[in-house]
Amino acid sequence: MRQLILDTETTGLNARGGDRILELGCVELVNRRLTGNNLHFYINPERDSDPGALAVHGLTTEFLSDKPKFAEIIDQFRDFIQGADLIIHNAPFDIGFLDAEFALLGLPPVSTHCGEIIDTLAQAKQMFPGKRNSLDALCDRFGISNAHRTLHGALLDSELLAEVYLAMTRGQESLVIDMLGEAQAGGDTDAPRVALDSLELVVIAASDDESAAHEAVLDDLDKAIKGASVWRLEPAPATDEQTA
């Protein structure tokens, strides 16, 4: 299962009004594990950022002036997201901007190139109704450090969101399910398996003092119920000598 945590930074809030993407970051998860195979671009948006947006991301027109335009990175981006599920915080915002960039190049929407689009903001609102569910708030809630996040950045925010997403969905899969998922994804039926009957479990026997204390507790129970407690009625487990 291949998933991409995606985030963008933009010149403003209105894709239909001409605002553009100026940074794009993707962090790859395969079978719920970070691979380090990430994608990141600074992009020349061919326009200035609104003052409010500039205060959020800090990417000036001068800094972006020599960066590639979206048309120059589109092929690499499409290849990278092909068939993968996209995980985005407030997905309609980022997808709206990506679709606008694709449309400028005469291309179909992003959804035709990727798998499922998962909105972690919608998930968080279901999990924590009535609470703040910004990325910073979720980092605080799940104990994820974002102290190094002084400004918004597409790659940094994607890395933080990856940790948040894994924390939000951790209850859905146990370690065993994760391992089975990997085996199924790999399709390797000849992979080595652990022989459970070969495992030697360490058995720690009670000491004499612990056994005496246990018997004292049972004596008190017998007195309280004026008879034999259930632990005295159960037969003692057979020892190796008895079963030999």
Contact 10, 97 (CB under 8 A): yes
Distance CA 64, CA 22 (A): 8
Catalytic site residue from 40, 89, 148, 152: 152
240 annotated binding-site participant:
no
Distance CA 68, CA 8 (A): 15
113 annotated binding-site participant:
no
173 annotated binding-site participant:
no
The helix, strand and coil proportions of the chain, stated in percent and rounded to the nearest 5, come to: 45, 15, 40
Write phi, then psi, for 98 (nearest 5 degrees): -65, -45
209 annotated binding-site participant:
no
Distance CA 156, CA 136 (A): 12
Burial class, 91, CB count within 10 angstroms (exposed 0-12 / middle 13-18 / buried 19+): middle
Q: What does the CA dihedral 145, 148, 153, 157 come to, rounded to 10 degrees?
A: -10
First and final C-alpha spacing in the chain: 51
Contact 27, 7 (CB under 8 A): no
Active site residue 152: yes
| Amino acid identity at 133 | N
Distance CA 167, CA 52 (A): 31
Q: Which residues are catalytic?
A: 152
Binding-site residue numbers for substrate are 7, 9, 57, 157
Binding-site residue numbers are 7, 9, 57, 157
Binding-site residue numbers for a divalent metal cation are 7, 9, 157
